[in-house]
Amino acid sequence: MDSLLPALIAALIAGATDRPAWLAAILGERFGKRTGVILGVIAAQVAIMGAALAGALAVRGMMTPNARSLIFGLALVFAGAGALMPAKPPRDRLDGWRIGALPTSALGIFILAFGERVQFVGFGAAAWGGSSLLAAAGAAIGAIVAGLVAATLGEREWRRLPLRAIGLAGGAMLVLAGLVMALGGLRLI
């Protein structure tokens, strides 16, 4: 659990104002039937965190515990800094995609989320945690929850949420936690 919970919380906070969640809200409203969008969110985030897990497992054995703490700390700092920025909608709303709710959601969110801050948090957590698999699972669950809420609400209701306040509060928490972890990895605190 010491690997799952920090990754879940960090991914949920980072993903709450990220573009993949906003795309899930757009697609949830567009398709009306939320089931296909929800399944697409789950598929995309599991695939994204699978890639993060593979990357973390590839480098984890070559890193000292302090280096792993530094990587996770930096991931949290960068995710928090991204969350502090005003949320922007995705550029492409996938209006031209005519392949159905599930494939549109799965592919669109996967493409948009690949290399985003939540994947970096998942990578950092998997490299840092006692159990890489639990850390990646926690990050996937956090990202999925953010996407599920967005898809269920739809874009109109999603935009009514205090996204700016959520981003500022969550971003500040991530930056602070990341700085503490990174400085600990550097043995400065």
Tens-digit pLDDT profile for residues 29-49: 888 878 999 999 999 999 999
- For residue 74, which of 37, 36, 128 has the smallest C-alpha distance? 128
Composition of the chain by helix, strand, coil, percent to 5: 80, 0, 20
What span, in angstroms and rounded, lies between the C-alpha atoms of 61 and 59? 6
Measured CA to CA, the distance from residue 34 to residue 152 in angstroms comes to 6
Separation between Cα atoms, residue 51 and residue 144, nearest integer Å = 15
Q: Quote the pLDDT of residue 153.
A: 92
- Mean pLDDT over the full length of the chain: 90
Q: Does residue 2 have a pLDDT over 70?
A: yes
Q: How far is CA 135 from the centre of its chain?
A: 12
The single residue listed with the structure tokens 């990578």 is 123
Average pLDDT of span 102-116: 89
Of 100 and 134, more confident: 134
What is the b/e burial string over 65-101, where b = at least 16 CB atoms within 10 angstroms of the residue's CB? eebbbbbbbbbbbbbbebbbeebeebeeebeebeeeb
Of 182, 147, 169, give the one whose Cα is nearest residue 12.
147
**pLDDT band, very low/low/confident/very high, at 60 (cuts 50, 70, 90):** very high
pLDDT of 55: 95
Residue 1: per-residue pLDDT: 60
Q: How far is CA 184 from CA 32, 66, 159, in A?
A: 47, 8, 38
91 three-class SS: coil
Rounded to whole angstroms, the Cα distance separating 112 from 129 reads 26
Distance, CA of 46 to CA of 79 (rounded, Å): 19
